[in-house]
Structure 1
Amino acid sequence: MLINADFSQRAALAFEDYQWVDSPQKGVERVMLDRVGAEKARATSIVRYAPDSYFPHHLHPGGEEILVLSGTFSADDTDYPIGWYIRNPPTSGHQPYSVKGATIFVKLWQMSTDEHQHVAIDTTDDSNWQLQGDRQICPLFSDDDEQVSLQRLTASQPLFMTEVVGGVELLVIAGELIENKQTYKSGSWLRFPIGTLPQISAGLKGVTVYLKTGYLAQIKHTDIAALLNE
């Protein structure tokens, strides 16, 4: 399966254009943002758990990155309420579920094999935020391959002033983002290829975004081909 699989092209999905599809597990639905492969895929998705839904215990050979967007997501008897950011490194496993329901942003099979540390950060905790230049930033992860953060912009503030090295992906967490008179509400997702300077700015009430940079330069086409053959 290929969805927004040409990483040399801009890709976007506005919140109002979501198309929910059933997962193999009852009570769990997803919106596929980008995908290369079948059920074992390099994938970026919005996943919605109905109350008392779950997945059986399983492994993530390529790692898993999660941001809880609503409700409470749980795994192996640990609860992660709205705002928690989690990184489960390659070869890790868990049994995910939600007692009262949850919506999460998920990225699968997109981590370096050199990554070994589990990460869990409460982005609703003000102590995890810091002022950097003209904006508030909550650092989530950084290495030689990628940089991940949440960023808060004030009204009409540009997100980028210079070209972003290695491409960029973002998810609108709160507020609105404006690109060429197009408004992207909370839940909207955008991806820009290497070598571009996205002309995007916060809406009139500001915006909070999940931001990932650098990672597109690390995509290995041999890994993608392997996923397509599974």
Structure 2
Amino acid sequence: MYSIGANTMNPRSDASFKPINMDRDQRVVINTLTENWIPSPASGVWRIPLEREAEESGQVTSIVRYEPETSFSVHFHPNGEEIFVVSGVFEDEFGRYPAGTYLRNPAQTQHAPASQNGCVLYVKLNMFAEGDLETLRIDTHNARWQPSHDEGQSVLPLHGFGADKTLLVQWQAGASLPEQIYEGGLEMYILAGSFQDEWGTYRQGFWLRTPPGSYHHPSTQEGCLMLFKTGHF
């Protein structure tokens, strides 16, 4: 099971909203384990905004935490919803999704999300490309990993549409990869382990976003598992 520490912090809500990290030409690094949880419109559901276009609409990337026995009312997402279950069990009227499940709900679909026992999610809203209509439910614990062209790296493709690619990436302990160049930009959320590059060290719970054309030379002592996106900006 993938797990993430959950700090118990005092929630806060700002009366006036300003867009958060929406300039995708800027590099952003956030340690989500040290961020405050902010209340959502549903009681018992908390969020850490990573990038957010508007207060309750537009493009959003967040870490979301459901307390046990919490739910949202039925709602739809005008331009799609992408979810990775980090810990616990997420639910809606269509099924139950334990940690390690990857979900995609296309534009104009709706559901009533909930969690009986609590869960933590990585969520992206309203970012589907036009024509991307695929619904996905992938149990990554029972999916087939593939070797990468770089030694010490394995990949599990989750979704692709045009240049937009989402996958899990596993770097083995002791791996030192050659320079990686991301023409379509890069977004990483670290699920386990850690890695370092010429810009810093990143551990479980870190979220990174770098602009198109970015590069780095990563290595890891203990190994690293991450949710990885590119080409979606």
Both proteins in one fold, TM over 0.5? yes
Determine which structure has the larger helix proportion and give its number: 1
1:160 and 1:11 map into 2 onto residues whose CA distance is 22
> Percent of counterpart pairs with the same letter?
35
Tell me the CA shift for residue 181 of structure 1. 6.7
- Are 1:26 and 2:4 an aligned pair? no
- Are 1:178 and 2:196 an aligned pair? yes
Maintained 8 Å contact 2:103/2:136: yes
Aligned-residue RMSD, C-alpha: 1.5
1:160 and 1:146 map into 2 onto residues whose CA distance is 23
Maintained 8 Å contact 2:198/2:216: no
* Counterpart pick for 2:77 among 54, 60, 64: 60
Match of 2:161 in 1: 143
Maintained 8 Å contact 1:192/1:198: no
Match of 1:205 in 2: 222
Tell me the CA shift for residue 201 of structure 1. 2.9
Maintained 8 Å contact 1:2/1:37: yes
Tell me the CA shift for residue 95 of structure 1. 0.5
SS at the partner of 2:53?
A: strand
Instruction: Tell me the TM-score normalised to structure 2 length.
Output: 0.87
Match of 2:231 in 1: 214
Gaps of 5+ in 1: 217-230
2:178 and 2:48 map into 1 onto residues whose CA distance is 27
- Are 1:79 and 2:96 an aligned pair? yes
Q: Over residues 131-164 of structure 1, what are the superposed CA-to-partner deviations in whole Å (9 max), with x where a residue is unaligned?
A: 2232221110012130110010013434663321
Report the CA distance shift for 1:160/1:65 in structure 2 as closer, same or farther (over 3 A). farther
Q: Over residues 83-115 of structure 1, what are the superposed CA-to-partner deviations in whole Å (9 max), with x where a residue is unaligned?
A: 000010111111000000000000001101301
Q: What is the total number of aligned residue pairs between the two structures?
A: 214
- Are 1:10 and 2:27 an aligned pair? yes
Q: Over residues 164-219 of structure 1, what are the superposed CA-to-partner deviations in whole Å (9 max), with x where a residue is unaligned?
A: 111010000110122337332211100000111134333x1100011101112xxx
Q: Over residues 13-40 of structure 1, what are the superposed CA-to-partner deviations in whole Å (9 max), with x where a residue is unaligned?
A: 0134222100011000010001111201
Instruction: Tell me the TM-score normalised to structure 1 length.
Output: 0.88
SS at the partner of 2:184?
A: coil
